[in-house]
Structure 1
Amino acid sequence: MESAVTEIFYRLSTAFFWPVALALLALFVLSLADLGSLLVQSRRRANAPASDLPALANALAASLRNGTRPHLGAASLSPSLARFWDMLEARLARLDSHEHLDLWLDETLQREEMRVANRLDLTRTLVRIAPMLGLAGTIIPLGPALQSLLAGDMAGMVNHLVIGFGAVVCGLVLGGIAYVLTLTRERWARVDLKEMENLCELVLRALPEAAHVRGAAQFAGAHA
């Protein structure tokens, strides 16, 4: 009975070797590609213009005082903020009123936060999974290595141990790369989301003021 159970566990553990090995290799290649993408993105962010919050406020207020659609003109925007403003501007153009503008802006900002969180979840998952795969890839070859040792096949035992040590190194490096990717993108996300919050606050402050100015002008014209 004991030998049958041992044989079952041995067969199960060896059956998982190739899925674990292939997953480690595939994720390692993907993490290297993602690291290269991060380096390119880092260089682009370093060369991209920074957002000028006072200029944004002035440009937004000026366009609203003139009674035109909210427009930032030539104000400096970071790439992420420019993309967010394009989405915000398109949705503002479809609004019939600004009665629930605060709720609408909050919902738009939450959508962006969820998009960023979904992107970060990929590398966060790798940080946890990589050591598990590395440990599994290390322990699984120990069974065949012990079998080779019992059979007196030292070369076979060494080959299995080399595979196990390679798997744990691959898993640790994969986890380290994923950790660096996660930390860097979390820092970028905090900066980008803070800029988006500031822009939403500017829009929230400016639009009611513009509506009040237009209402006062219409009232004055009606009683002139």
Structure 2
Amino acid sequence: MESAVTEIFYRLSTAFFWPVALALLALFVLSLADLGSLLVQSRRRAASPRSDLPALANALAAGLRRGAPAQLHTLPMSPALARFWGLLEGRLARLDSHEHLDLWLDETLQREEMRVANRLDLTRTLVRIAPMLGLAGTIIPLGPALQSLLAGDMAGMVNHLVIGFGAVVCGLVLGGIAYVLTLTRERWARADLKEMENLCELVLRALPAAGAQA
């Protein structure tokens, strides 16, 4: 009975080796591609203009005094804020009343936060899964390595150990890359969402000023 249970566990562990190995290799390649994409995004963000909040506030107030949507596209804005203003601009042009505008702005911000969170979920998951896959890829070859040792096949044992050590290194490097990607994108997301919140606050402040001067 004991030998049968041992054989079952041995077969199960070895059956998981190829799925774990292929998952490690595929995720490692994807993480390297994502790292390259991050470097490109970093250069683009460094070259993109910074948002000029005072100029945006003046343009919003002037546009609302005229009863027309403010044209902010000519002002310095980060790409994320320009995209967000594109969402707000169309809605402001169709509004008959500004009574519940604050609720709609909150909803729009929440959608942006959910979109950012969904984007970060992949790398956050990799931070946790990568060490698990690396550990599994290390432990699974130990069974065949011990059997090779018992059979006196030292070359086979060394080959299995090399595979195991390579798997744990791959898993640790993958986890490190995913951690760097997550930290960097979270920092960018916080900065972008803060600018969006500031823009919404400027819109809400400009409306009473426009109404008082009308």
Aligned residues: percent identity? 91
Aligned to 1:145: 145
| Secondary structure of residue in 1 paired with 2:75 | coil
Partner Cα distance (1:223, 1:128) in 2: 56
Q: CA deviation at 1:173?
A: 0.1
Superposition pairs of residues 1-224 of structure 1, within 5 angstroms: 1-72=1-72, 74-208=74-208
1:96 CA displacement: 2.6
Structure 1 residue 159, shift from structure 2 partner:
0.4
Number of residue-to-residue matches in the alignment: 213
1:103-139 C-alpha deviation (Å, 9 max, x unpaired): 0000000000000000011100000000000000000
Secondary structure, aligned partner of 1:67? coil
Q: TM-score, normalised by structure 2?
A: 0.95
Scaled by the length of structure 1, the TM-score of the pair is 0.91
2:94 is paired with a residue of what secondary structure?
Answer: coil
Structure 1's 65 and 144: CA in aligned 2 closer, same or farther, altered over 3 A? same
Contact 1:131 1:172 in 2 (8 A): yes
Structure 1 pair 108–168 and aligned structure 2 pair: CA distance change class (3 A): same
**Stretch deviating more after TM superposition (82-91 or 155-164):** 82-91
> 1:59–1:73: 8 Å Cα contact kept in structure 2?
no
* Structure 2: gaps of 5 or more residues: none
Instruction: Give the gaps of 5 or more residues in structure 1.
Output: 209-219
Q: Is the 8 A contact 1:52 1:76 kept in 2?
A: yes
List structure 1 segments (4+ residues) > 4 angstroms apart after TM superposition.
220-224
Tell me, in whole angstroms, the C-alpha distance in 1 between the residues paired with 2:4 and 2:195.
63
Would the aligned equivalents of 1:144 and 1:157 in 2 still touch at CA under 8 Å?
yes
Structure 2 contact 138–165 (Cα < 8 Å) conserved:
yes
1:46-95 deviation per Cα after TM superposition (whole angstroms, max 9, x unaligned): 00000000010011111111221233252110011001101111222232
Q: Provide the C-alpha distance between the structure 1 equivalents of 2:213 and 2:132, rounded to a whole number of angstroms.
A: 76
Structure 2 distance, partners of 1:76, 1:158, is: 61
Is the Cα–Cα contact under 8 Å of residues 61 and 206 in structure 2 kept in the other structure? yes
Structure-1 separation of matches of 2:115 and 2:144:
45
With over 3 angstroms needed to count, the CA separation of the structure-2 counterparts of 1:7 and 1:69, relative to structure 1, is same
**Stretch deviating more after TM superposition (64-73 or 188-197):** 64-73
